[in-house]
Amino acid sequence: MKLFFLGRALREKVLLLAFAALALLIWGGRGLARAQAFLAEARAARAELATQRVWLDHGPEIDAKAVAATKNLDPARTLNATRLVGELNELAAQAGLSADISGQRTERTSQFAFHTVQANFRRTELGPLLKFYEALSQRSPYIGLEQFTLAADRANPGQINASFRIVSAELGP
């Protein structure tokens, strides 16, 4: 390789060195980018590990609080997914609203089942929405509002489109 390089003209030597330098620069830049990505992932993994360590260290305390909270709940007032939809339809009717309830999903833990639904109200007034919210808040901690979105109706700016993500807690088996 050395003889090949030395046997070249000066112009070819300069060009070969320039290509080699360019290749080294590209390779070095990619290596640097990979190293930065690796370090970022390592930092994220350390942060996740620290969070998990805190949860594990406080596990008995969390379990004790969950057991204490369970003792304060009335099992007859907890709602399964079907009862949640029925209750929301009833609360909406009492407030003078028509609800479009969809997106049912259930997450289970050792002590609870959390049922989540999406309740949408189209082209309504603010007064009935406030009535619905007040009736919903009176059912806490058995029913809770997780997310709420309000938007003016495009066709009629005097009316509101609202979306509620609602969660109910049911005591597990």
Greatest C-alpha distance within the chain: 95
Q: Tell me which residues of the chain have a pLDDT lower than 50.
A: none
Structure confidence by residue, pLDDT tens digits, 79-118: 888 889 999 999 999 999 988 998 888 888 877 888 999 9
Domain ranges of the chain: 2-55, 75-171
* pTM for the full predicted model: 0.61
Q: Give the span between the Cα atoms of 102 and 9, in whole angstroms.
A: 77
Could you give the strand order of the β-sheet that contains 100-108, starting from the edge strand earlier in sequence?
100-108, 112-124, 160-171, 143-152
Task: Determine the residue type at 157.
Answer: P
Assigned token pair, 88: 């929301």
Region at 156 (left for phi over 0; alpha for psi -120 to 50; beta for the rest): beta
pLDDT for position 53: 95
Domain 75-171 -> CATH class: alpha beta
